[in-house]
C-alpha cells in the first residue's frame, strides 16, 4: 500500500475534476498529443502494483487526450470530454504530470496534490507504452498495458 501511495495512479474512473498546476516550459504540440484508449484488467493493474481494491475500481476501458500541454479525460463509451484532468510536459522521452487538489472532494486514489509524476514513454505504430523511471514518482496504472491512438 505504501508503494501505491508513493507512486500514485491517475484515477481515470473517478468523476472528480483535477485542475492543473502550472507546467514548466513552453506549451506546444508533442508526439504524445492525440487521443488514446486502453482497457485495464484487474489482474494487469495488480501486476504493476495497484492494490486489489483500487484495481477493481480502475479496471475497464479508459480514454484521454493530450493536447498542447493539457490532459483531458474522455468517456470511452461516448467519446465525450468528462473533465480537464491536468497538465503535462515532455522532455525527449519523459513526460511529467502535475496535479493539484480538486475543487471539491478528495483527490483520486494515489494522487498527491503538487507532486510531479514522471514516466518514460515510447510510441510505435500508434501504440503508446509507459515505463517507470528509477527514483521517480510514477502513475503505475499507466504502465499496465500499451495504449492505442484513437486520433
State pLDDT tens for residues 10-52: 333 332 333 333 333 445 689 999 999 999 999 999 999 999 9
Average pLDDT over residues 145-149: 98
| pLDDT level of residue 99 (50, 70, 90 thresholds) | confident
Beta strand 127-131 with 81-91 is: unpaired
Per residue in 70-79, pLDDT (tens digit) is 888 888 999 8
pTM value is: 0.77
Q: What is the pLDDT of residue 103?
A: 59
Domains of the chain, by residue range, sit at 2-149
Cα four-point dihedral sign 105, 109, 114, 120:
negative
Question: What topology does CATH give the domain 2-149?
Answer: Lipocalin (2.40.128)
Do 13 and 144 contact (CB within 8 A), yes or no? no
Amino acid at each position: 500500500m505504501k508503494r501505491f501511495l508513493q507512486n500514485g495512479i491517475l484515477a481515470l474512473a473517478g468523476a472528480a475534476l483535477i485542475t492543473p498546476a502550472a507546467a514548466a516550459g513552453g506549451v506546444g504540440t508533442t508526439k504524445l498529443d492525440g487521443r488514446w484508449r486502453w482497457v485495464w484488467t484487474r489482474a494487469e493493474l495488480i501486476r504493476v502494483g495497484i492494490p486489489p481494491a483500487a484495481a477493481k475500481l480502475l479496471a475497464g476501458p479508459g480514454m484521454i487526450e493530450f493536447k498542447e500541454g493539457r490532459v483531458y479525460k474522455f468517456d470511452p463509451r461516448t467519446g465525450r470530454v468528462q473533465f480537464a484532468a491536468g497538465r503535462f510536459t515532455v522532455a525527449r522521452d519523459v513526460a511529467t504530470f502535475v496535479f493539484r487538489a480538486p475543487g471539491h472532494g478528495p483527490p483520486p486514489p494515489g494522487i498527491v496534490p503538487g507532486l510531479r509524476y514522471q514516466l518514460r514513454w515510447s510510441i510505435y505504430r500508434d501504440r503508446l507504452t509507459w515505463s517507470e523511471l528509477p527514483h521517480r514518482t510514477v502513475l503505475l496504472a499507466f504502465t499496465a498495458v500499451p495504449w492505442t491512438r484513437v486520433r
